Structure 1
Amino acid sequence: MLNKFRYILSPIALQVDENWGAYIQLIDYEHRDYIEDVLCEYFDIEYAFRSNEDNTGDYVLYFEDKYKFKTIEQAITQINEYHKINKREYKVI
């Protein structure tokens, strides 16, 4: 991994929006793309919709009621732990 992309190992925080349910705020397009792939390939989790980053400048994945909060929380915890311990990204296709 190039040093300029090390930030994709940054911890992710799961949050809750009262209208849209569970969501995660990501840093930029590369971060969103990577985490989206990890969630799908390793945890079989797909987001319900994402923010329109072209208009908002935010990179947010919303899960709505598609999964139980605990399921997403466990995946995010595992991703954060993996990054912290291994100091490298997941291999994604």
Structure 2
Amino acid sequence: RHTRTAAELTRLIGSPYLKVLYDVYHMQLNEGSLCDHIRAYADQFGHIHVADAPGRHEPGTGEIHYPAVFAALEQAGYRGLIGYELFPKTDTKTAVRAIMAD
């Protein structure tokens, strides 16, 4: 439920095979302060899931400011994969355009 709990656990275990799947949508709902948590714990992220909140649609359809989220990930040195786990608000083509704009 919380980034800190997951990241501290993976740091404690210290295995390169155990990382946090950081789900931006869920973390916005659960705790907010996305960029602060990314800066503090991105070294423990193994994969990122992206969807906007509310509604779990493509970036730009909700309250999450994705340019700031992506900038925080870049500044924190995250080089892993980002997966878009969302429900297109209108259609897939429009959602893909929004994703590619990020």
Normalising by structure 2, we get a TM-score of 0.26
Which of these two proteins has the greater Rg computed from alpha carbons? 2
